[in-house]
Amino acid sequence: MSTLNRLTMLGSGVLGAQVAWHSAFKGKTVVIYDIAEEALERSKIALDGYAVIYQSDLGASEADIDAARQRLTYTTDLASAVADADLVIEAVPEVPSIKSGLYTSLAPLLPERTIVATNTSTLLPSDFAADTGRPEKFLTLHFANQIWKMNLAEIMAHEGTSRDAITQAVEFAIEIGMVPIPLRKEQNGYVLNSWFVPLLNAAQTLVTKGIATPEDIDRTYMMSGANLGPMGWFDVVGMTTAYNVMSYWGHKNDDADMLSNAEYVKEHFVDKGHLGLLSGKGYYEYPNPAYQRPDFLAVPEIGAAPEIAAIVGSASAVLH
């Protein structure tokens, strides 16, 4: 059994709220920290939504939900948030300077025993180990979106992480019902995001270049039996994180398509406050997004042919 019973979550956005809620549901005592009260208020609304999902999908009782709520507290004060933490998991924006700044502020506030993990999607523990002031107790513990059904935790260390910290993190992951996925080496994107980020980027390129509609991209993907396509995933991931990842890696790799995709997501979604599922709108509108309609993958009526042909024709017309 791990000694990690008191968790502090840094960042209460899309992933922070899910990991905090899930850990509390599994019996951990959780403090949720964010920089702004508004962010904490938004996360409480998200948690209400997860409570409903845990009842409907996992069979949680009212008593289970109440108990999870009792184990959660919220604060915007970093010092008190971590004063008694066994484990701190950082889930602030995928922007290296924000993460570094937070680790630097955090370092002098932590109890000696505290293990620190980052939930970064694409960065490395060695990028931040020095900032934490406790490299031997720092690693990644990467949770996937929709933690209640994508129950994996990717565990990645840097060369200075102690074996004890790694073991504690693995035990914590198992205690909250995760399948641990140990990484043998540092890898930007772990296992999951090594293909998931390129998938979303490739799909976004089709939209950015006007090649296919988001719905048709998702139809094509969902024909294989998946209940969500890449454009639907943009909404679940959240447009802020999608933008941060594509912008950072677009610049880093001098990838013109990725940078255009980042700009597209910023202009069409982030700047308009259409941040994806949790905001009620992204590529789809929620609740009841189009991809959940029973006829989303159906063969259309024959009468729809001219409308579909017109889409194809708009490209061939250029050739005439």
Q: What are the residues binding ligand NAD (CB under 6 A)?
A: 10-16, 34-36, 39, 91-94, 98, 102, 119-121, 145, 237-238, 240-241
CB of 30 to ligand NAD, least distance (A): 15
Cβ burial of 106 (10 Å; 0-12, 13-18, 19+) is buried
Q: Which is nearer to ligand NAD, 150 or 305 (CB)?
A: 150
d(CA 191, CA 234): 19
Q: Which is nearer to ligand NAD, 23 or 121 (CB)?
A: 121
Integer angstrom CA distances of residue 262 from 2, 55, 126, 246, 256: 40, 36, 26, 5, 10
The amino acid at 228: L
Among candidate residues 50, 49, 44, the one with its CA nearest the CA of residue 12: 44
Determine how β-strand 29-33 pairs with β-strand 6-10: parallel
Q: Which is nearer to ligand NAD, 114 or 119 (CB)?
A: 119
CB of 249 to ligand NAD, least distance (A): 11
CA 206, 212, 216: angle at the middle one, nearest 5? 115
CB of 304 to ligand NAD, least distance (A): 34
**Residues 90 and 127 sit within 8 Å (Cβ to Cβ):** no
Q: Which is nearer to ligand NAD, 94 or 131 (CB)?
A: 94
For 100, the token pair is: 């570094």
CB of 286 to ligand NAD, least distance (A): 15
Which residues have a Cβ under 8 Å from the Cβ of 125 and sit 6 or more positions away? 118, 138, 139, 140, 156, 157, 158, 161, 186
When CB distances to ligand NAD are compared, the closest residue is 13
CB of 245 to ligand NAD, least distance (A): 6
Q: Which is nearer to ligand NAD, 229 or 238 (CB)?
A: 238
CB of 4 to ligand NAD, least distance (A): 19
Q: Which is nearer to ligand NAD, 123 or 207 (CB)?
A: 123
